[in-house]
Amino acid sequence: MSDVLKRRAFALMLATALAIPAEGIRQRAYFDPPGILTVCRGHTGADVDPRKFYTVAECDALLSADMRRAVALEPGEKVVFSWIVWPDKATADASHAKIMDDPRAADFGEMPFDGKRMIFGGFQSVVDVNNACLKSRLATSTA
């Protein structure tokens, strides 16, 4: 994968990670904090029309197309989107070490997909909207 494609994939992954939980779906174009015209679930590009109201179906189609481009999807392939939420970094690190040391992992053979096209993120949160919402709700309910 070229450096340009890697940067684009990382940008898409980061935009998706931030846009879906933090922004949800915005059906009218807006400028995100860096000043990039954005719509729906973090879609950017020359095709964003600042005058248009996007339907949910159009937003779904944009996200689907963005994901397919990010992984260079080929005919007959599917995009799988998944994640693991760990309570803290120590638990994540310990779990990862146990998985790597598990002798059953040697029996898996070849990877069933092209790992070079996999997009993944790290542990550090950039925005934790859900946690802020939960703290707010807890503070309100106990007051």
Would you name the residues annotated as active-site residues? 23, 32
CA 47 to chain centre: 21
Read off the tokens for 92: 């994540």
Residues 6 or more apart whose Cβ sits within 8 Å of residue 14:
121, 126
d(CA 59, CA 27): 7
The CA-based angle 124-125-127, given to 5 degrees, is: 160
Q: What is the distance between the alpha carbons of residues 113 and 127, in angstroms, rounded to a whole number?
A: 30
* Helix 56-70 and helix 3-18, axial crossing angle in degrees, nearest 10: 150
